[in-house]
Chains A and B, each alone.
Chain A
Amino acid sequence: MNLNIIVLAKQVPDTRNVGKDAMKEDGTINRAALPAIFNPEDLNALEQALRLKDSNPGSTVTLLTMGLPRASEIIREAIYRGADGGIVLTDRTLGGADTLATSYSLAQAVKKFGKYDIILGGRQAIDGDTAQVGPQIAEKLGIPQITYAEEILDLSDGHVTVKRRLENGVETVKAPLPCVVTVNGSAPDCRPRNAMRVQKFKYAASPSEAAKLSDERKALLEKRPYLNLQEWSAAYVDADPAQIGLPGSPTKVKAIENVVFTAKDCRVLTDNDAEIEDLVKELITNHTIG
C-alpha cells in the first residue's frame, strides 16, 4: 500500500541543556545562546513514519513545519534520515501564534497538501511543552487523534493500531484512517543520518536560502529539481488572516517574568566525617529524618 505520510515537526531552541554560558549575569536566560534543534519527540515521530515507509514500499514521508525560513534545516535533517521531502510554512503574518492559531495554519497546509493517510507528530515541543497542536489539528481536520503513542503496531484495511503509553499503563487502540498520531519520547529513537542521503541532499535549499546562494549553487538547484525544498506562505494555504498569527490567537501573554536564582541562607560543609555526622544528628534531632 502506498501511503502518504505527513510528519509535523518543529525547530526549537534547545531548552533542555541550559548551561552556565546561556545564563546572563542577572540570572536570566540568554535565548540567543541556545542552539536551534529538531524537536526531540518529532524525531520519534519521524522514526515511526520511516518504519511505515519501510513496511509499505512506495510510500512517501513529507515533513511539515511552521516557523522561520531557517526551519528548512530540520527538513534537510529529516531527508538525511530518510524522509522524501518537506514544506516550511513561513510567513510574517504567522508570527506570535498561540497553539490554536498554529494548528489552524498547519491544518490549512495539510488541506493544501491534498491526499494523506496518516499524520504523525511528536507529543509536544520542548519550548512550550503544551502537547496541544496535534489534537487541535485533528479537530480542525475533523479526524480522530491518538496521543501518547509509543508504537504503531499495524496499519492495514484503512485502520491503524497503536500502543499508547499512559501514566499508569498501556492501551492498545485502533482508529480509522486518516488520523493524527502524536508520539511519545518513550518510542524508539530516530535512525541516524544515511551517509548516501547526506551526499545526495546536502545542497538542498529552500527559496529563501537559494536567494543567498552563489550562481553555481543556484544552477545546481535548477539542474536537480529534487534539491528544491518547498516554502509555503499563509496566502498559499488559503489561511484566513483573522485566524492566524497574533490576531488569530485567543490566548495573550499578559506578562513574562524571567526566572532568577536567588541565594538563600546556606551552610557549606566538606566531606569531613565530623561535619557529616553533625548534620545527620541535627536532622534526626529536628525530626527531618528518623
Chain B
Amino acid sequence: MDQNNLIVYLEFEDSRVADVSLELLTKGRVLASRLGVKLEAVVVGDDLTGVEEQVFPYGVDRLYKVSDKRLYPYTSNPHSAVLINLFREIKPQACLMGATCIGRDLGPRVSSCLHSGLTADCTALEIGDHTDPKTGKEYKDLLLQIRPAFGGNIVATIVNPECRPQMATVREGVMKKEIFDPNHKGEVVELDAKKYVSDEDFVVEILDRHIEKSKINIKNSPIIVAGGYGVGSKENFQLLHELADTLGAEVGASRAAVDAGFTEHARQIGQTGVTVRPKLYIACGISGQIQHIAGMQDSSIIISINNDPAAPINTIADYVITGNLEEVVPKLIKYYKKNSK
C-alpha cells in the first residue's frame, strides 16, 4: 500500500457520515491534490454499509473500513488503537478529524502515542513551506494549521516540521461541504478489526446513551437575533425571542449572556460556542468580545443595537442603532409587521 497520503477520520452515526467529516473531506481533497497524494478516509464502527457511496463523491481515493460490533458506539481506547496501528502501517503525512466530542477525545490519544503534533480547532488549513528560525532547515509543503489562540485575541499558524502524521481538528461548520465529483470512485479496503484492536482495549463500558438531537439550530439559521450581557435579564431575552419569531430567526447569545444565566448554553455563539455565518445578524446589547466576534464576523449583514456608541462590535457592523433595545426591538417588530406581506 502506498504511504504518505492525507487521511480523514469519519464519524458515522445513524447510517450517516457526519457533516463535519464531509466538510473535512472537501478540504482534504483540495490539500491532497495540492500535495499530489491520495485522499484517504477511515471509518470505524459496527455496521458500515453505505459509507463509500456517501464519501466517494467528496473525492475519497481510498476508504478503510474497520468493523466490529464492539466498535460502536465510539469509545476512546479501541478507536485510538485502530488509528494508531493503521497509521503505523500506512504512515499518513496528515490526518484531519472533527473538533467534536469524539475527535477531541480521540486525536490527543493518537497523537500522544505516535508522538505527532496535534493542533485543535483550526479555522484554516493550507499547504506551505517553513524555515526553522534557529537551524535554518527548510521544510517543503507542510500543513499550515491556523487557529485562534489566547481567547481569540491572536491567530497562530502552527506547523509540525518533523513528526508525522501532522494532525489537526476542525469544528463543524468552519469548512464548506462541497461535492467534488458525483461520479468519483475510490477503492474500499476492509481491514480485519482483530489485527488492530485487542480485547484489552475494551475497558470502558457504556451503560446508557441517549442521543438527543439538539433542538436549537442556530448554525443553519439564515437570520440570528443575538443577545449579550447588555440585554440585562432573562425576561428581556424574551423580547429577542419575539423579534426572532417575527423574522423567522433563531436566538443566539454571547458567552457573557450565557454565563449570566440569561439563556442556555446551546445558544452560545463564538469561539467556545458555535460559529455562524447567517445572512443577517442582529446583535443586541453585545459589546463585542473578540471571542464572540470570531464566531459571527462572517455574517453577511450585521446590525448592532447598543446604547454604547463605542461598543467594539460597532466596528464590524453594517448598521449601528444607538439606543435602548427595549425601545428599538419592539419598533423593529412593529415596522416589520407593517411592511411585510
Contact = CB atoms under 8 A, between A and B. Distances in A.
A135 interface: yes
Given A136-B108, A269-B319, A18 B153 contact: yes
Contact of A100 (B118, B159, B312, B318): B118
B70 to A, nearest CB: 14
Contacts of B149: 127-129
A103 B80 CA distance: 17
B154 A271 contact: no
A29 B336 contact: no
A258 B154 contact: yes
Interface stretch (B22-30, B47-55, B191-199, B324-332): B324-332
A268 B156 contact: no
Contacts of A269: 319-322
B131 to A, nearest CB: 9
Contacts of A273: 331, 335
Contacts of B235: none
A151 B142 CA distance: 41
Given A131-B108, A135-B112, A250-B162, A259 B152 contact: yes
Interface in A253-281: 253-259, 261-271, 273, 275-277, 279-281
B84 to A, nearest CB: 9
A250 B160 contact: yes
B117 A129 contact: no
Contacts of B303: 279
B332 A256 contact: no
Contacts of B272: 126, 129
A139 B109 contact: yes
Band of interface residues on B: 35 or more
Interface in B220-245: 223
Contacts of A136: 108-109, 111-112
Interface in B270-303: 271-272, 279-280, 289-291, 293-294, 300-301, 303
Contacts of B130: 252, 254
A147 B101 contact: yes
A265 B318 contact: yes
Most chain B beta-carbon contacts within 10 A, residue among A174, A250, A256, A277: A250
A290 B336 contact: yes
A135 B162 contact: no
A139 B323 contact: no
A144 B204 contact: yes
Contacts of B118: 99-100, 132, 251
B105 A174 contact: no
Interface of B: 73, 75-77, 80, 100-101, 104-105, 107-109, 111-113, 115-121, 130, 132, 144-145, 148-163, 203-214, 223, 247, 255-256, 265, 271-272, 279-280, 289-291, 293-294, 300-301, 303, 309, 312, 314-324, 327-328, 331-332, 335-336, 338-341
B1 to A, nearest CB: 25
A148 B209 CA distance: 14
A279 to B, nearest CB: 6
Contacts of B316: 261-264
A213 interface: no
Nearest to A15: B151
Interface stretch (A72-80, A81-89, A165-173, A191-199): A165-173
Does more than half of chain A's interface fall in helix, strand or loop, or is it mixed?
Answer: mixed
B163 A267 contact: no
Contacts of B212: 168-170
Does more than half of chain B's interface fall in helix, strand or loop, or is it mixed?
Answer: mixed
A252 B336 contact: no
Contacts of A288: 223, 279-280, 300-301
Given A18-B153, A251-B158, A289 B223 contact: yes
Interface in A158-182: 161, 164, 166-176
Nearest to A267: B319
Most chain A beta-carbon contacts within 10 A, residue among B121, B321, B340, B341: B321
A223 interface: no
A133 B317 CA distance: 37
A122 B152 CA distance: 19
B205 A259 contact: no
5 contacts: A129-B271, A132-B104, A161-B207, A169-B210, A176-B203
B153 A15 contact: yes
Contacts of B322: 268-271
A131 B101 CA distance: 10
B129 to A, nearest CB: 10
B120 A172 contact: no
A186 interface: yes
A145 interface: yes
A98 interface: yes
Given A147-B101, A167-B214, A277-B335, A266 B318 contact: yes
B321 A270 contact: yes
A71 interface: no
